[in-house]
A and B are shown apart, each in its own frame.
Chain A
Amino acid sequence: MLLTLVTFIPLIAALVVLCIPKEQKDIIKWTSMGAAVVTFIISCQLIMGYRSGGTDSVAEKFDGQIQSVIDDNVADTALKASFQKGVQAIEADNVDDAVGADRGPVHYAEVAGIDLKSLDAAQSKAWHETWELSMAKGAAASEHIRFVEFGHWIDGFNIRYFMGGDGLSLPLIWLTALLSVLCLAYSWNITKATKAYFALFLILETGLMGVFLALDFFLFYVFWEIVLLPMYFLIGFWGGPRRIYASIKFFIYTLVGSVLMLICMLALYFHNGFDTFNILTLMEAAPGFSQTMQMWMFFGLFIAFAIKVPIFPFHTWLPDAHVQAPTAASVILAGVLLKMGGYGIFRFNLGLCPDAMTGAIQLPMWLGGNFIMFMAILGVINIVYGALCAMAQKDFKSMVAYSSISHMGYVLLGLAAMTDAGVQGAVLQMFNHGLSSAMMFLIVGVIYERAHHRNLNKFGGIGAQMPYYTGLATIGFFASLGLPGLNGFISEALVFMGAWNSHTASPAVGVFGLPTWIVFLALPGIVLTAAYILWAVQRVFMGPLKSETYKTFKDLSFREVFVLAPLGLLCIVFGVWPQLILGFMNDTLNTLVSSVIAVAGN
Chain B
Amino acid sequence: MGGNTFMDIGLGHYLAVSAILFALGLIVVMTRRNAIGILMGLELLLNAAGINFVAFNRFSAPERMDGQIFVIFIVILAAAEAATALALVLNIYHQIHTANVDEAHLLKQ
Do the two chains touch directly in the complex (Cβ atoms below 8 Å apart)? no
